[in-house]
Amino acid sequence: MNTIRKKETWIDDIKIFACILVVLGHFFQSMIKSGIYLENDVIDWFLKTIYYFHVPVFFICSGYLYQATVHFICLKDWGRNIVKKLLSLGIPYLLFSTATWILKTIFSGSVNDEVASLYDVLFLHPISPYWYLYTLLFLFVFIPVIKKRNYYFLGIALAVKLLNIILGDSDFYLISAICQNAIWFVMGMYMSCFQITEKVKTRVWQVRGEWGIILFSILSLLFYFFDGGKLGAFLLGMLACISLFLTYISIKPKKESFFIMLLKDSTWPIFLMHTLFAAPIRSILMKLGISNWIIHTILGLGISIVGPMLVVLIMRQWTWMEIFFYPERKFRVWITKRNGKDR
């Protein structure tokens, strides 16, 4: 995977963009619910717009890397991959979901949502943003890698998505989550299978992507005032994702600053930890009687990004902390070292 990531730098670039949008989305929602921000058309439009595509971008990237790096020969290989995913996704999911639940319970007077039971949070109705890990784990379980270049999987995923739009969500959270997001994951797999990235690395495709972003921005304004329904939202999200990927894939890599390199290394920790940093700060400020929206914005957004980045810097010195974020990789390193000592 490291070779793939070094070659395909656009994956890290687009994940940074999507991660920042996830942080902004959660931050603005919490500020509105807390009464610090007053609802207005600008924030409402922004929130509605980013939710068309920011998490689908993560699913597409995951599907791309899955198809590019995982190869099944037999059922045993599939089982090994599931164990890896249980470690790499399951441990962070359980850890950070539990940590968030504890914080919500402690600050129950100032958090924005009712606190459900820990069992419900972990197994039935995962909380944001960890529902992404929950859903992604089961997508890895149920969706095999593509062996032949055909469109069967893509057709099935699209049909499932359309049925979900027409019939509505299931009473079971997991079923709804898979039906809603499988299409994005499978899209990423087909991008890898058909080597789409190699075919669009030209200035022409970058310009087309940029025009697509402009068109998406215009349509998102129209959709804000005139409801396009679930189908319209899906098509708009598809336009946004395709346009963003065309743009990012076509951008030539440049020499990066220390901050950008650190930001790339911190994308996963920021995704996992931004609410854990932002919520306590907001609660403390409110308990101190500080309700100024400028102070909340500077401190809240700042700690959401900088806090996890500081954790990454600390983790470079205390590498054992990687077990919380990259458990499968850390276990693999420990096993390799142990086997080396036994020889």
pLDDT of 1 higher than 60: no
Q: What is the pLDDT of residues 100-129, one digit of tens each?
A: 999 888 776 555 556 788 999 999 999 989
Note whether residue 18 is domain-resident.
Answer: yes
Report residue 340's pLDDT band, with 50, 70 and 90 as the boundaries.
low
Average pLDDT estimate for 220-240:
94
Note whether residue 276 is domain-resident.
Answer: no
Note whether residue 221 is domain-resident.
Answer: yes
Residue 39's domain comprises 2-255
Comparing 330 with 28, which gets the higher pLDDT? 28
Average pLDDT estimate for 41-61:
95
Note whether residue 216 is domain-resident.
Answer: yes
Average pLDDT estimate for 258-263:
81
> How high is the pLDDT of residue 73?
67
Are residues 19 and 195 in contact, defined by beta-carbon separation less than 8 angstroms? no
* Confidence (pTM): 0.91
CA 254 – CA 13 distance, rounded (Å): 11
Comparing 77 with 138, which gets the higher pLDDT? 138
> How high is the pLDDT of residue 6?
52
CA 329 – CA 268 distance, rounded (Å): 14
Average pLDDT estimate for 219-223:
95
Report the phi/psi class of residue 195: left, alpha or beta, with left for phi > 0 and alpha for psi in -120 to 50: left
Give the number of domains in the chain. 1
Note whether residue 42 is domain-resident.
Answer: yes
Note whether residue 305 is domain-resident.
Answer: no
Note whether residue 62 is domain-resident.
Answer: yes
CA 129 – CA 12 distance, rounded (Å): 19
Are residues 331 and 80 in contact, defined by beta-carbon separation less than 8 angstroms? no
The share of the chain scoring above pLDDT 90, in percent, equals: 58
pLDDT of 179 higher than 60: yes
Note whether residue 40 is domain-resident.
Answer: yes
Q: Could you tell me which residues come within 8 angstroms of residue 145 by beta carbon, excluding any fewer than 6 positions away?
A: 66, 67, 70, 71, 72, 189
Average pLDDT estimate for 16-31:
94
Mean pLDDT of the chain: 88
Average pLDDT estimate for 119-145:
93
